[in-house]
Amino acid sequence: MKILINRPQLVVNPELRSICESILAERKSAVEWDLVESDDLFQTVHFKGGYDATEQEFCFSYYDGERKEWWFQFSYAEAARIAVGELTHLDIREPG
């Protein structure tokens, strides 16, 4: 029997979609992203994050309407899916 656990999710919004479009516009390979690793390369009203070479993914903090911080990450391939509206939700978790 599979037990499903409700996980908090972030609905992808235009602000995050714009970040993903910027990631794709860079046209960098994974190796190039490794070389410019930065945890605060992207900063907007609700999002702060960048590429993490250890994780090999983009790692972000999301600040909700009450300024509560949530963490999430996504791959380059997922960034492409977010940018075109194909990926509409991401799992988020509390820091720690």
Question: Which residue type occupies 32?
Answer: E
Q: How sure is the predictor about 88, in pLDDT bands with cuts at 50, 70 and 90?
A: very high
Q: Give the residue carrying structure tokens 């909700």.
A: 64
The per-residue pLDDT for range 41-85, each reduced to its tens digit, is 999 999 999 999 999 999 999 999 999 999 999 999 999 999 999
Residue 17's closest CA among 92, 81, 93, 91?
Answer: 81
Domain boundaries, the chain: 9-91
Instruction: Tell me the average pLDDT of the chain.
Output: 92
Record the pTM.
0.89
